[in-house]
Amino acid sequence: MENSYKYFKRDISWLSFNYRVLLEAEDDTLPIYERIKFLSIYSSNLEEFYEIRVAEHRGVIMKKNYTEESGAEAEETLAAITKEVNRQQREYYRIFYDKILPELNRQNIYLYQDSTPEPFHEEFVHNFFNEEVFPFLSPVMIQAGDIRTFIRDRRLYLVIRMVKKSKRLSNPDYVPEYHYALMKIPYAKVPRFIELPAYDGKFFIMFIDDIIKANLSNIFPGYVIDSCYSIKISRDADIYLEDEKNENIVESIRKKVKKRKIGALSRFMYDRAMPDDFLAFICEAFGITPDDLVVGGRYLNLQDLVKLPNPKGKELEQQIPVPMRVSFLDEMESVFKVVKKRDVLLHFPYQSFDYLIRFLMEAAFDPKVEEIKITQYRVAENSAVINTLVSAAQNGKKVTVFVELKARFDEENNMSTAERMEQAGIRIIYSIPGLKVHAKVAVILRKDNEDGGKRKDFAYLSTGNFNEKTAKIYSDMALLTSKSEMIEDIKNVFAILEGNISEPVFRHLLVARFNMVPELTRMIRQEIEHVKQGRKGRIILKMNGLHDQNMINELYKASENGVEIDLIVRGICCLVPGQPYSKNIRVTRIVDMFLEHSRVWYFYNDGEENLFLTSADWMRRNLNRRIETAFPILVPEIKQEIIDILKIQLSDNVKACEIDENLHNNCKRDNNPVKVRAQLAIYEYLKKKS
């Protein structure tokens, strides 16, 4: 019998999250360049959404992709997406024009909104165009029915309509015969924003688009320019590798990454001011269908706003707290000596990521260390983590790295770093066909002569990547431990990756595709049993995405039975609150200066309080098609620290929103005279503890 539970559509829920990102740009309590940053993030997020999610639905309709979705469902979803995106785009440009630009002007910063510069800038703009821009322009005439010029994704183009001068001048009654041209803006050669000379105490910035538009007559000297508009497209950027054989996976991914640039069209975005007949010509010339169209404004590709020059410096930017030092780690010359005595919990970016580098570097040079094993999902370019592993291999350590080549948009970086590591003598294990390895774990195998020659191994488990770049902006937690029972489980994870065992037994870790879902289900149902026995039932789950319907059903049942549930979900949340079966569930979303990335699972368990940190979201892919790990927090003091942080986040009344049954982001406001901005409060909490 089917249940009567409701679920939000995954992609509409994601758009709700991205709209919450956009709302940060409207928050006038934030510095103006912080607000501009969120405009950029919103645009970048939406670009990837069209490249992956919209492209997948289109593939279903065209019968190119096999999913559980039907063609009719895909069409319905795309219609809902288009409606919501068009609404959000109107909001985006309203915020940009009515909020952002006036505030910049109040700061004496003027971002030109016209291709006609002020008289005192005419000479500069003219000279800059001739010297820095004109040599790199390659306009192409467009003729309907002719060979189509290929339009690249993630690039901004201008389409120009014009008439020949000679015909217009010789016949005043001439009905114009329009000619059209396409021209790519040469981003690789010139920046998107050009700082013009300051004037009368004011700073001026101009879009490169407008500098080009101001000089179109020089590009097309035989024509009179009628009009010019911006366009851009998004293409299918996903890579499907479910059936690839292991021995071919590297070359397969390499080939498919190259093909990504010529993927099927998923969005054609254009300036809403473009006349209908102009748009119709462009659509016919390039084979654009009405379903491809997304309305934009005068300026597209506004993820570039992150590069907007700031002539006044830090006073207009969000001041990010400096990562803290951890005193007891700094006082000891060896991280190993500290971890040998106690588990260490690290909080990024509140605390320095240097401690992980120091941990790996110590392993690279410690003569007692025999072997290092680590997973790689996303690493920074020129990664310090990779450098330490190379040093370890050069120092005679056996180093094994599992490299997930299918980390979306990081495939090329992962391939190049893997090749570099192989050259240094590191053993590389590549992706498992049909699976992604998303676990963030490392183990260091070490003999300890001080303990009678017995092993004293060490491990690192995290909710986030081994990436020093994202560790400055992603909020994550990581555990350093030498507990042998935990390390045995981690060794079993690597045994799976190395193909040495197929049916492992885990005593402490929860591992996706093995014991994770059964244990989660058991713990949820255990809370239900406690409530039935007249005791307290309480669950707090923090994650980035909640999509898996089976797990949502378990939460609905727990709510129906009186278990109190708080969800802190940053992104996709398909669980519908505010229903009879979800009346005991509250959904909180926090968007602030750091990206909330840590995943935490808390079960009250009649006062014993089971607590896990994990790499896994409750998405179908994470629970069923990935290798993920969740690790228990066994030290009471560390457990309490994490619980305190969860309480801080649930008390946020500045940056937290509560998601309602209509997917609205309702700002949490209470009568508490104390304003709690969770990320700043967590920083102060950890600062006091240290």
How many Cβ atoms sit within 10 Å of the Cβ of residue 472?
Answer: 15
Q: What is the pLDDT of residue 13?
A: 98
Those residues whose C-beta lies under 8 Å from the C-beta of residue 596, and which sit 6 or more positions away, are: 475, 542, 544, 568, 570, 590
Q: Which two tokens stand for residue 237?
A: 């950027």
**Pairing, β 564-569 against β 585-590:** parallel
Q: What is the pLDDT of residue 237?
A: 73
Residues of the chain with pLDDT > 70, as a percent, come to: 92
Q: What is the pLDDT of residue 408?
A: 73
How many Cβ atoms sit within 10 Å of the Cβ of residue 405?
Answer: 23
State the pLDDT confidence band at 253, using cuts at 50, 70 and 90.
low
Is the backbone peptide bond immediately before 349 cis, with ω within 30 degrees of 0?
yes
State the pLDDT confidence band at 243, using cuts at 50, 70 and 90.
very low
* Alpha carbons 178 and 226: distance in angstroms, whole number: 9
Lowest-confidence region among 175-179, 290-294, 364-368: 175-179
Ordered alpha helix ranges (H), 117-246: 119-128, 165-170, 208-213, 216-219
State the pLDDT confidence band at 434, using cuts at 50, 70 and 90.
confident
Q: Which two tokens stand for residue 148?
A: 């189509």
State the pLDDT confidence band at 435, using cuts at 50, 70 and 90.
confident
Q: What is the pLDDT of residue 72?
A: 87
State the pLDDT confidence band at 339, using cuts at 50, 70 and 90.
very high
* Alpha carbons 326 and 110: distance in angstroms, whole number: 44
Lowest-confidence region among 124-128, 222-226, 640-644, 659-663: 222-226
Mean pLDDT of the 189-193 span: 95
How far are the Cα atoms of 46, 567, 605 from residue 529, in angstroms, in the given order?
A: 43, 20, 10
Mean pLDDT of the 579-597 span: 98
How many Cβ atoms sit within 10 Å of the Cβ of residue 248?
Answer: 12
> Which residue has 């990581």 as its token pair?
478
Q: What is the pLDDT of residue 415?
A: 85
| pLDDT tens, position by position, 111-122 | 999 888 999 999
* Alpha carbons 259 and 649: distance in angstroms, whole number: 43
DSSP for residue 481: E
Q: What is the pLDDT of residue 172?
A: 66
Maximum Cα–Cα distance for the chain, whole Å? 102
Please determine, for residue 363, whether its predicted confidence score (pLDDT) is greater than 70.
yes
Mean pLDDT of the 361-369 span: 96
Helix (DSSP H) and strand (DSSP E) numbers for the chain: 22, 28
How many Cβ atoms sit within 10 Å of the Cβ of residue 680?
Answer: 17
How far are the Cα atoms of 89, 581, 587, 655, 681 from residue 650, in angstroms, in the given order?
A: 31, 22, 10, 11, 12
Q: What is the pLDDT of residue 1?
A: 44
Residues of the chain with pLDDT > 90, as a percent, come to: 77
| pLDDT tens, position by position, 496-522 | 999 898 889 999 999 999 999 999 999
Give which of 548, 608, 605, 541 is closest to 572, Cα–Cα.
548
Lowest-confidence region among 214-218, 236-240, 275-279: 236-240
Q: What is the pLDDT of residue 150?
A: 84
Half-sphere exposure (Cβ direction) of 332: Cα atoms closer than 13 Å = 15
State the pLDDT confidence band at 256, using cuts at 50, 70 and 90.
low
Q: What is the pLDDT of residue 501?
A: 87
Q: What is the pLDDT of residue 64?
A: 63
Q: Which two tokens stand for residue 411?
A: 């495939």
Say which amino acid occupies 134: F
Mean pLDDT of the 477-483 span: 98
Q: Which two tokens stand for residue 682?
A: 């967590």
Say which amino acid occupies 289: T
Lowest-confidence region among 192-201, 245-254, 275-284, 578-587: 245-254
Say which amino acid occupies 100: I
Q: What is the pLDDT of residue 156?
A: 95
Those residues whose C-beta lies under 8 Å from the C-beta of residue 385, and which sit 6 or more positions away, are: 356, 357, 360, 379, 466, 467, 468
Check: CB of residue 354 under 8 Å from CB of residue 326.
no
| pLDDT tens, position by position, 58-97 | 888 877 665 667 888 999 999 999 999 999 999 999 999 9
Please determine, for residue 449, whether its predicted confidence score (pLDDT) is greater than 70.
no
The question of whether 438 is a catalytic residue gets the answer: yes
Mean pLDDT of the 7-19 span: 97
Q: What is the pLDDT of residue 614?
A: 98
DSSP for residue 607: G
| pLDDT tens, position by position, 127-147 | 999 999 999 999 999 987 666
| pLDDT tens, position by position, 655-685 | 999 999 999 999 998 778 899 999 999 999 9
Q: Which two tokens stand for residue 213?
A: 């538009």
State the pLDDT confidence band at 260, using cuts at 50, 70 and 90.
low
State the pLDDT confidence band at 2, using cuts at 50, 70 and 90.
low
Mean pLDDT of the 4-14 span: 96
Mean pLDDT of the 599-607 span: 98
* Alpha carbons 361 and 365: distance in angstroms, whole number: 7
Give which of 424, 427, 420, 446 is closest to 362, Cα–Cα.
446
Please determine, for residue 254, whether its predicted confidence score (pLDDT) is greater than 80.
no
How far are the Cα atoms of 43, 117, 186, 318, 436 from residue 215, in angstroms, in the given order?
A: 28, 11, 15, 37, 50
Q: Write down the catalytic residue from 121, 347, 438, 530.
A: 438
**Residue 659 phi, psi dihedral angles, 5° rounding:** -90, 130
Mean pLDDT of the 545-554 span: 98
